[in-house]
Homo-oligomer: A and B are copies of this chain.
Amino acid sequence: MQEIIKSLVQKNEKKIVLLVMDGVGGLPREKGGKTELETARTPNLDSLAAESECGLHLPIDFGVTPGSAPGHLALFGYRPTDYNIGRGVVAAMGIGFPMRAGDVAARVNFATQDDQGNVTDRRAGRIPTERCAELCERLSSIRVPGVEIFLKPVMDYRAVVVFRGEGLSDHVTDTDPQAVGVQAHTPKPTSEEGRKTAEIAAAFIQQALALLKDQHPANCLLTRGFAELPHIPDMRELYGLHPLALAVYPDYKGVGRMVGMDVIEGLKNLDHQRQALKDNWDDYDYFFMHHKYTDSRGEDGNFDAKVAEIEKVDGFLPHIIAQKPDVLIVTGDHSTPAVMKSHSHHPIPFLINAADSRPDGVREFGERACAAGLWGIIPGPMLMRLALAYAGKLVKYGA
């Protein structure tokens, strides 16, 4: 079907905006209550919903909890299970690191461990990016025979490591235990192919621990998401679009770059994103606008703070509408209910606003309200298809 869609594409001047509230889907705090999105005061989203078609989408499939990269791939129209993108690749792409075929990347958290070697803080007290950069510099002296190693700061306590050499593989397990009070894992191969890389990663970590010994709170590091570079067809070729990513967080710039988007660097907040949208409006026809903190506050388990982030985006929405996009889609890449403190499999509300949409009586942008919308529950990659259709960018199929 991807090939058929490609053959139907026609270019025109119409502009599409995809506004992603990361992890926006949620759950009620208590039985019978409202979700974060249902709780938030969102007059702008609600009145937009009333003029839109609504529904819920499943980025991957029923019951599957999406990671950030697959969640976004779905929103960009790709079937996520066709492309295995590890977290490491996303992180490397996010900071613009020029990965090569055969490289293996992994995400790194600087973290805190106690004298028994148990992890006490998976984020090293959220050290600032500058400190992260110093630590990466400190670890640049690490040498492991047979590979080149690049360790680069990403943001706050997060970094990325790239291994370059012959015979590497991403068949290696995470060392991040995803919990405190326990020791970090040792990297293990998940197949014979992964053995060499697991050994190299273990050697790297061993040397790093020695160099971080006195750097409390960043006295250890955790790795996860070992990944090789996948080949993903370029959005520009698939859809004839000229796409731009307006994201603050590096990972989301990375996912955008991976599908062929241009990326504006240096955006720190919604105000910067708004200005960048305006400044670049004439030069692009697809805008991916990403807000991270709805997800972050969900991960923190902070229901009220997630509500506040949603309200912040609601206040930002008029700036997007002021640009008069031909098609505006508002949604999330997955659910991150504060009560779960993690991503979840729950379907995610969306709205599609366009001149020739059929408003469906949904008057509130929320999970349950959108479930009663025109589209019901659809696969996430269909949203890009619909965006193209509503923008008049797909010609008729057949006579």
- Pick from B62, B368, B374, B396: contact of A361, CB below 8 A: B368
* Shortest CB distance A98–B (Å): 20
Q: Mark A335-379, 1 if CB is under 8 A from B, else 0.
A: 001011011111100000000101111000001100111111110
Tell me the A1-39 residues at the B interface (CB within 8 Å). 1, 4-5, 8, 27-28, 31-32, 35
Distance, CA A371 to CA B60, complexed state (A): 23
Q: Does A221 contact B (CB under 8 A)?
A: no
Q: Given contacts A371-B360, A394-B65, are A31 and B51 in contact (CB under 8 A)?
A: yes
**B residues within 8 A CB of A394?**
63-65, 345
**B residues within 8 A CB of A358?**
27-28, 35, 346, 367-368
- Pick from B81, B84, B368: contact of A374, CB below 8 A: B368
Which of A61, A367, A374, A396 has its CB near the most chain B CB atoms (within 10 A)? A396
Interface residues in A, total, Cβ within 8 A: 70
Q: Given contacts A63-B382, A389-B63, A394-B65, are A85 and B399 in contact (CB under 8 A)?
A: yes
Closest B residue to A33 by CB, please name it: B359
Tell me the A65-96 residues at the B interface (CB within 8 Å). 65-71, 80-81, 84-88, 90
- Pick from B84, B346, B368, B376: contact of A377, CB below 8 A: B376
**B residues within 8 A CB of A80?**
397-398
Q: Mark A386-399, 1 if CB is under 8 A from B, else 0.
A: 10111000111111
Please tell me if the beta carbons of A398 and B62 are within 8 angstroms of each other in the complex.
Answer: no
Q: Does A227 contact B (CB under 8 A)?
A: yes
Q: Can you identify 28 A-B contacts, CB atoms within 8 angstroms?
A: A1-B81, A4-B64, A4-B81, A5-B64, A27-B356, A35-B358, A56-B374, A62-B389, A63-B382, A63-B386, A65-B397, A66-B398, A67-B396, A67-B399, A69-B398, A69-B399, A70-B397, A70-B398, A84-B398, A85-B399, A88-B399, A90-B399, A339-B356, A345-B389, A345-B394, A360-B368, A374-B377, A375-B377
